[in-house]
Structure 1
Amino acid sequence: MADTHKIYFEPVDIEMEVGEDEKILDAAFRQGIHLMHGCREGQCSACKSYVLDGEIQMERYSTFACNDAEVDEGYVLLCRAHAYSDCTIELLNFDEDELLGGVPIQDVRTRVTAIEPMTRDIVSLRLTAVEPSTYEFKPGQYSDITIPGTDEHRSFSMATTQSTPGEVEFLIKKYPGGRFSALLEDGLAVGDELHVNGPYGSFTIKEGHVLPVVCIGGGAGMAPILSLLRHLNETGSTRPVRFYYGARTAADLFYVEQILALGAGLRDFEFVPCLSEELPERPEAGSSSADAGMPSGLLLEAGNVTDVVARREADLARCEVYLCGPPPMVDAALVFLEAQHVPSDQVFHDSFTSPVTVSA
């Protein structure tokens, strides 16, 4: 049996135990401590922390997330870190409300109830919880779904809320050669069972906040933003909300009418699809959507999503910004938001990456 050690987290004054055979982040989840995290695969830096004292070794990780100089100074990625002594760790990023108040991690056996194409490369996967019969999570969080017959999993965000506690929807982008993507084409069917583990992520609406909300999404990043919009609608939020969704063409847009219906229940809402590629009849910035087959009155904007946001949002520093989409889009948006002087504690995103080999 592996030895166990104590971890002391500063400056939050939290103590926990960790086995040498488990990662520190996983041990925290097991004990109901929800540390800041993102990809959980050593490829982002959301869980980066500083070792004040003790012996820690990391499994393989991306040097883009934690470079050699940082490692030499004592920085670690908690999702890849094992403790071999009692340790004191300084948390660099944390949410005091989430630390001890997050939703417990659950293992849920589910059954597939629908597999429906949304666009040429986005699929809606709907599951019903079997055991237990409900799945608790916060809007904006994500889950691990195990690839049947393997020990591998893929992470996907929920598009639903607790208004349907036994039913959950994922919006999944199909990638050439993707192991889970292939199952959506041929391998999964209604009635099949899938194992779901979660929830994870800190891409959640912060209760009690009053700043306007700006959502920037693309691709399957629609899912957690749709969950957030549903939550804001269901709770009667009065915060102004703008949703900028980046797509290549009008054919890549989906759930437009549902989004507009949710927005109708908010006090001040606008949905702005941003189209980056040439159309047979390309809309000029701010043009009508009628010719593109969209609902009447919807404005289509031409250009990359960050360019459109730059044109339309003059005071981002006084907004909370929620980002989810392909990594290049999120990276570009983070650079843009920094240039706009948006405080880092007003920017929320989960970092998703395709499974790749990472280097130590």
Structure 2
Amino acid sequence: MGDAHRIRFEPVDIEIEADEGETVLDAAFRQGVMLMHGCKEGQCSACKSFLLDGDVQMGRYSTFALADYESEEGYVLLCRSHAYSDLDVELLNYDEDMIRAGLPVVTVDTEVAAVEELTHDISLLRLAVSGDDEFKFHPGQYVDVAIPGCEEHRSFSMANLPRASGSELEFVIKRYPGGRFSGLLEGELRPGVPLSITGPYGTFTLRASSDRRIVLLAGGAGMAPILALLRQIAAKDDFDREVVFYYGARTERDLFLLDEIAELGGRIPGFSFVPVLSDAEWSGARGMVTAVAAEREAALADCDVYLCGPPPMIDAGLAALEERAVPQEQIFYDKFTVSAEAG
């Protein structure tokens, strides 16, 4: 490890300390400062910020995330930036409430408690935190799960609510042929198998201070963080915001947890659930889930919109929301990787 330096974030007036051997983003995570982020690998631009003062060196990153001209102007990716002096950084994308509500990122040991089949290609994985370790997180966040026998990891969102004691985590995971982790769900991940997790990460959390109507959109395993938010909302006695949940699938056999969604909806005043099938003849909504939601929701610009699912769904949803003039600060999304290499 190298020397430690002071990092000051504007305009939120927050300071952390970062060692030269860690990225600025990792240093923030370690100290419970939850900055906006996405891939954590220099492939997206969620953590892009402007360097006001100081000296940084960046590791390899995609020019799709940070163009050469942006780098020359002083923009940096915090997930690739190492501080070699004290820094003053202007955050471009931030939620001050989320930043200040951040939890320190930790690594804990868990073991498989159960693996259940939800559909023909989606599993529910339950992990029990080992020993006396405690794992805190906000509903909607995710962890990196280490793949046994190698140095790689995969990221999965928790579907459950945090527990006061006896930590257990639930994950909704889509299985892909040849998936490095998801392939293990078909037999190798039996109860008692140890797994190491690191987190919590992510800012896909309920903005409780808002009073706007909530529109939720999910597809595939994107159900996980949406389910966590629904469970959080249903647990609130005084929640009075209208909530609608659009879930996209191909056919009826790809729908799951319908009974629980109905039970949760019964505890949320003004709740409605709209399953949308893209490849089936049935009496319900048909087409792409983002298109159906955009068509049915006449006042999207007055809503808080949460999207979670594979990249094509998120990209289509963001385009539709931009067309409908939904303010960026009212849009929250979690883009799931869907390649076999990432499964």
**TM-score category, normalised to shorter length:** over 0.9
> Displacement of 1:156 after TM fit?
0.2
State the partner residue of 1:144: 144
Q: Against the structure 1 CA distance between its residues 251 and 147, is the aligned structure 2 distance closer, same or farther, given a 3 Å change threshold?
A: same
Q: Is the 8 A contact 1:109 1:132 kept in 2?
A: no
| Distance (Å, rounded) in 1 between the aligned partners of 2:23 and 2:134 | 28
| Distance (Å, rounded) in 2 between the aligned partners of 1:202 and 1:55 | 27
> Displacement of 1:103 after TM fit?
2.1
Letter matched to residue 189 of structure 1: R
Q: Against the structure 1 CA distance between its residues 6 and 354, is the aligned structure 2 distance closer, same or farther, given a 3 Å change threshold?
A: farther
1:311 maps to 2:311: no
Secondary structure of the 1:161 match is coil
Q: Is the 8 A contact 1:39 1:350 kept in 2?
A: no
Matches within 5 A, 1:275-314: 275-277=277-279, 279=280, 282-283=281-282, 287=283, 300-314=284-298
2:327 corresponds, among 335, 343, 348, to: 343
1:14-53 CA-to-partner distances (Å, cap 9, x unmatched) read: 2222111111100111122221112212222111101112
State the partner residue of 1:243: 245
1:224-277 CA-to-partner distances (Å, cap 9, x unmatched) read: 000000000011322111100111111111111110110010100111111111
State the partner residue of 1:175: 176
Letter matched to residue 306 of structure 1: T
1:34-75 CA-to-partner distances (Å, cap 9, x unmatched) read: 211122122221111011122222222222222222222211
> Displacement of 1:356 after TM fit?
10
Secondary structure of the 1:123 match is strand
Q: Is the 8 A contact 2:310 2:338 kept in 1?
A: no
State the partner residue of 2:274: 272
Q: CA RMSD in A?
A: 1.7
Q: Against the structure 1 CA distance between its residues 88 and 129, is the aligned structure 2 distance closer, same or farther, given a 3 Å change threshold?
A: same
Which ranges of structure 2 fall in alignment gaps of 5 or more residues? none
> Displacement of 1:136 after TM fit?
1.4
State the partner residue of 2:114: 114
1:322 maps to 2:293: no
Letter matched to residue 312 of structure 2: P
- Larger mean Cα displacement after TM superposition, 108-117 or 325-334: 108-117
Q: Is the 8 A contact 2:222 2:336 kept in 1?
A: no
| Distance (Å, rounded) in 1 between the aligned partners of 2:326 and 2:306 | 12
1:252 corresponds, among 239, 245, 254, to: 254
Q: Against the structure 1 CA distance between its residues 30 and 163, is the aligned structure 2 distance closer, same or farther, given a 3 Å change threshold?
A: closer
| Distance (Å, rounded) in 2 between the aligned partners of 1:354 and 1:56 | 33
> Displacement of 1:355 after TM fit?
7.7
TM-score (norm 1): 0.90
| Distance (Å, rounded) in 2 between the aligned partners of 1:42 and 1:355 | 18
> Number of aligned pairs?
339
Q: Is the 8 A contact 2:309 2:334 kept in 1?
A: no
State the partner residue of 2:315: 331
Identical-residue share of aligned pairs (%): 56
| Distance (Å, rounded) in 2 between the aligned partners of 1:16 and 1:226 | 33
TM-score (norm 2): 0.94
> Displacement of 1:164 after TM fit?
7.0
| Distance (Å, rounded) in 1 between the aligned partners of 2:5 and 2:337 | 31
State the partner residue of 2:33: 33
